[in-house]
Amino acid sequence: MSVMRTRKDRITAVLSYLGSIMDATETELDYTTPFELLIAVMLSAQCTDKRINQVTPALFAAYPSPEALAKATPEEVFEYIRSVSYPNNKAKHLVGMAQRLVADFHSEVPTTLEELTTLPGVGRKTANVIQAVAFGKAALAVDTHVFRVSHRLNLVPSTATTPYAVEKALRRYIPDETVAASHYWLLLHGRYTCTARKPKCAECGLAYLCKSKDKNI
């Protein structure tokens, strides 16, 4: 196949291919409410979804509402999440997040980027996941997988050296109705095929577009 001439063509080709082979357009985290999703996404930073899904059932049962979690101490929450990465900081952020929900948002998870990022422990990536998954908004979260795949497939310029820069570059050419699904297609491709170490180039249908093929970069 010939190499795509424009970045828009490359993005279109990549998303068309990934959309044709993937069913999943949702997070692999287990949750039933926006509040549970927010907790799970906050815990998932630098940790696997599999690990998070192992600890959240007991955590959700112990703290089923913002009010319940707001009354807990970080030390109490720590006991439920001790096996995840950075449990001390995450316990503090979870309690602080719940307290802010109760105090400022009537115990409801807010729907905008500006409001979500006022919550302790919630940055732009987490806020975009919540907007896209919980509220169906055209928000594109850029994690390490999306960042890596976007650069390897030359979907973004080399000058896009931050997650926000990658997000802006991708959003130029992804229609609103495809944004949320695009995040998961790119994420899952990075998680299972275009891995950080030993990417499975021989199995990848996008290898013809990849400037990093067989270079493991």
pTM: 0.88
Q: Share the mean pLDDT of the chain.
A: 93
Asked whether residue 160 falls in the same domain as residue 99, the answer is no
The CA distance from 24 to 92, in Å, is: 32
Token pair 């850029």 is at which residue?
142
pLDDT score, position 215: 54
Q: In this structure, are 107 and 185 located in the same domain?
A: no
3-state secondary structure of 207: helix
Residue 110 is predicted with a pLDDT of 98
Q: Which of 125, 137, 168, 211 is catalytic?
A: 125
Cβ atoms 145, 191 nearer than 8 A = yes
Region 165-194 average pLDDT: 94
Q: Is the pLDDT of residue 167 over 90?
A: yes
49 with 102, same domain: the answer is yes
Is 159 a member of any domain?
yes
- 72 in a structural domain: yes
Q: Are 107 and 66 in contact (CB under 8 A)?
A: yes
Residue ending a domain, choose from 119, 135, 151: 135
Report the C-alpha gap between 137 and 210 in whole angstroms: 30
How far, in Å, CA of 102 to CA of 119, rounded?
11
CB neighbourhood size of 32 (10 A): 8
Assigned domain for 105 exists: yes
**Total domain count, the chain:** 2
What type of residue sits at position 21?
Answer: I
Least confidently predicted of 45-49, 110-114, 168-172: 45-49
Pairwise CA distance, residues 77 & 11, whole Å:
42
Residue 42 belongs to a domain: yes
Domain boundaries, position 17: 7-26+140-209
On the question of pLDDT at 164 being above 90, the answer is yes
User: Catalytic residue at 143?
Assistant: yes
Question: Three-state DSSP class for 121?
Answer: coil
* Same-domain pairing of 63 and 97: yes
Catalytic, 125? Answer yes
CATH number of the domain where residue 114 is located: 1.10.340.30
Regarding whether 174 and 95 lie in a shared domain, the answer is no
Choosing from 49, 92, 104, 143, the catalytic residue is: 143
Both 39 and 16 in one domain: the answer is no
Q: Give the residue from 111, 135, 159 where a domain finishes.
A: 135
The token duo for 141 is 């979260």
Structural domain includes residue 216 = no
Asked whether 209 and 3 are in contact (CB, 8 A), the reply is: yes
Q: Which of 71, 30, 83, 49 is nearest to 191 (CA)?
A: 49
Give phi and psi for 5, each to the nearest 5.
Answer: -80, -40
Confidence at residue 27, expressed as pLDDT on a 0 to 100 scale: 85
Residues 123 and 174 in one domain: no
Q: Is the pLDDT of residue 74 over 70?
A: yes
Distance CA 50, CA 124 (A): 23
Q: Closest by alpha carbon to 146, among 119, 164, 123, 120?
A: 164
pLDDT over 60 (residue 8) = yes
Q: Among the listed ranges 44-48, 133-137, 212-216, which one has the minimum average pLDDT value?
A: 212-216
Q: Are residues 81 and 167 in the same domain?
A: no
* Domain match, 147 and 130 both: no
Last residue of a domain, one of 78, 109, 135: 135
Shared domain for 104 and 172, answered yes or no, is no
Going by pLDDT thresholds of 50, 70 and 90, the confidence category of residue 214 is low
**DSSP H helical ranges for the chain:** 7-21, 34-43, 49-62, 66-70, 74-81, 87-104, 113-116, 124-135, 144-152, 163-171, 176-192
Same domain, 131 and 38: yes
Evaluate if residue 187 carries a pLDDT over 70. Answer: yes
Q: What is the CATH number of the domain that holds 146?
A: 1.10.1670.10
Does residue 106 lie within any of the structural domains? yes
The string of pLDDT tens digits covering residues 108-162 is: 999 999 999 999 999 999 999 999 999 999 999 999 999 999 999 999 999 999 9
Higher pLDDT, 164 or 1: 164
**pLDDT grade, residue 23 (50/70/90)?**
confident
19: Cβ–Cβ under 8 A, 6 or more apart, which residues?
181, 185
Same structural domain, 118 and 45: yes
Evaluate whether residue 144 is within a structural domain: yes
Q: Could you tell me if residue 217 is inside a domain?
A: no
